[in-house]
Amino acid sequence: MEDFGSAALKRLIEMHGSALKNTHANLGDATAIVDPARLVDVMRFLRDDGECQFDMLTDVTAVDYLGEEPRFEMVYHLYSVPRNKRLRVKARVGEKSPEIATLCELWPSANWMEREVWDLYGIRFAGHPDLRRILLYEEFEGHPLRKDYAKEKRQPLVGPRN
């Protein structure tokens, strides 16, 4: 039986081949690396297409590859409840004013997870309805999960604003 992970990838290559930069299924995790400018189109297709049906955005995170260009990589994990399959979608984001389109319109679960990525990595999400810090406080300076943020760095704890 063909693995649906790769069948979804096959379908994605057929329909949105020009938006894909690379695909692989290392360790059994079907992965598509997409052009960040086409991310929302690809994601909408994956959600709505009858052969994909990825109705759940289970996880959003980022990885900092310091020294590479583009520096950041957004990582999205999709899950299809009716088909019980997973797919990973990745897109690269550059270091200078890192920004990528939000997925809040497609999946409300993206709201908090994108806020977390903004908080910890400093990647902005264009069109996000409520892009505030979520785990750290507003006065915090910098984005601690970036590789160039020293682990020992301390910041003053700011009291409540009012």
Partner 1 sequence: MSTDLHLRAELPADQDQRGDLHSEHQILNMGPSHPATHGTVKFVIELDGETVVDLDVQVGYLHRGFEKECESGSWYQAIPYTDRLNYNSAILCNLGFCMAVEKLLQIETPERCQWLRVLASELSRLGDHLTRTGAACLELQAMTPFLYGIEARELTWDLQEMLCGARVTSNYIRIGGVKHDMAPSYPAAAREKIAKIRELLKDFDDVVTQNRIFVDRMKGTGVISKEDCIKYAVTGPILRSVGVPLDVRKDEPYLVYDQIDFDVPVGEVGDNYDRYLVCVEEMHQSLRIVDQCLVKLEQLGPGPVNVDDPRVRWPAKGRVFNAMEELIQQFKSVTEGPRVPKGEAYFAIESANGELGFYLVSDGSAQPVKVRCRPPSFINLAPLPLMVRGAMLADLIPTFDFINMIGGECDR
Residues forming the site for partner 1 (CB under 8 A): 26-27, 29, 31, 55-59, 61, 63, 65, 75, 77, 79, 81, 84, 86, 88, 107-109, 111-113, 116, 120, 133-137, 144-145, 151
Complex with partner 1: residue 37 or 158, whichever CB lies closer: 158
The token pair that represents 130 in the structure block: 């409520």
Complex with partner 1: residue 13 or 134, whichever CB lies closer: 134
Provide the minimum distance between the beta carbon of 14 and partner 1 in the complex, in angstroms, as a whole number. 25
Beta strands in the chain (DSSP E): 20-24, 31-34, 56-64, 72-80, 85-93, 99-101, 124-126
Provide the minimum distance between the beta carbon of 145 and partner 1 in the complex, in angstroms, as a whole number. 6
Instruction: Identify the sign of the CA torsion 154, 147, 89, 95.
Output: positive
Provide the minimum distance between the beta carbon of 48 and partner 1 in the complex, in angstroms, as a whole number. 13
Complex with partner 1: residue 20 or 56, whichever CB lies closer: 56
Residues 35, 41, 45: CA angle, nearest 5 degrees: 120
Provide the minimum distance between the beta carbon of 144 and partner 1 in the complex, in angstroms, as a whole number. 6
Give the number of residues written for the chain: 162
Rounded to an integer, what distance in angstroms lies between the CA atom of residue 39 and that of residue 19?
8
Task: Judge contact between 53 and 13, C-beta under 8 A.
Answer: no
Residues near 40 by beta carbon (within 8 Å), at least 6 away in sequence: 101, 103, 105, 106
Complex with partner 1: residue 96 or 151, whichever CB lies closer: 151
Provide the minimum distance between the beta carbon of 36 and partner 1 in the complex, in angstroms, as a whole number. 18
Complex with partner 1: residue 15 or 112, whichever CB lies closer: 112
